[in-house]
Chain A
């Protein structure tokens, strides 16, 4: 049981490049989300999904796209990378049941845009 797996762990991009951060979970969780964390800051919600085919914006969605074609996968796409997107990105998943219990986080992707 791997939990939440994020790939890659590290990535360097040039300004204007695009890429996809991968997130997969094997716990059959309905709820998945993406956060970014800048140095010394808390986590900010980018996008989230309450199930396959359903996504919604979080606090800081601009510059990012998501899709949820399966329960297991929730990729995050950077369309045209900017230095302001340099950050650590975390993916999380949790059950969509009452109460919503613990969210499980991946180990993060450290992205640098130069």
Chain B
């Protein structure tokens, strides 16, 4: 299992773009990178998944450099409701789905 490292916490302001970077130096060839969001008292919710380059959906963008040793989750124009914990996971079908401690994102008015 590739271990991931992400900042423990981040603060930002409403309307700003937020970038959360995850380091996964030991990522394997078959591994995908997946990000989840968790609000208080709720289960995690899938945000986005990618293998290489850039992936974009209605919620976020995921940037993955060519060496795939890191990835960046980008949240455009955040609002107060984006305050949550964000988890970066790396793995494939043969892996257990392991969560780290995540990044606590606090959006300020």
- Contacts A99-B92, A100-B93, A108-B42 known; A42 to B51 CB distance under 8 Å? no
In the complex, what residues of B have CB within 8 A of residue A98's CB? 93
- CB A93 to nearest CB in B, in angstroms, measures 11
Q: How large is the interface on A (under 10, 10 to 19, 20 to 34, 35 or more residues)?
A: 20 to 34
In the complex, what residues of A have CB within 8 A of residue B34's CB? 102
Q: Contact check: which of B45, B46, B51, B96 meets A48 at CB < 8 Å?
A: B96
Is B100 an interface residue, CB under 8 A from the partner?
yes
Is A75 an interface residue, CB under 8 A from the partner?
no
- CB B23 to nearest CB in A, in angstroms, measures 16
In angstroms, Cα B74 to Cα A75, docked, is: 37
B interface secondary structure, majority: loop
In angstroms, Cα B49 to Cα A42, docked, is: 19
- Contacts A96-B93, A99-B49, A100-B92 known; A41 to B43 CB distance under 8 Å? no
Within 8 A of A (CB), among B36-78: 36, 41-46, 49, 51
- Contacts A42-B101, A105-B43, A108-B42 known; A99 to B96 CB distance under 8 Å? no
In the complex, what residues of A have CB within 8 A of residue B85's CB? 42
Is A74 an interface residue, CB under 8 A from the partner?
no
Q: Contact check: which of A31, A59, A100, A107 meets B43 at CB < 8 Å?
A: A107
- Contacts A102-B46, A105-B45, A107-B43 known; A42 to B100 CB distance under 8 Å? yes
What is the interface of chain B, defined by CB distance below 8 A to chain A?
Answer: 32, 34, 36, 41-46, 49, 51, 85, 87, 91-93, 96-102
Given contacts A35-B99, A102-B34, 12 further A-B contacts (CB under 8 A): A31-B97, A41-B101, A42-B87, A42-B101, A42-B102, A45-B99, A48-B97, A92-B43, A97-B93, A102-B46, A103-B44, A105-B45
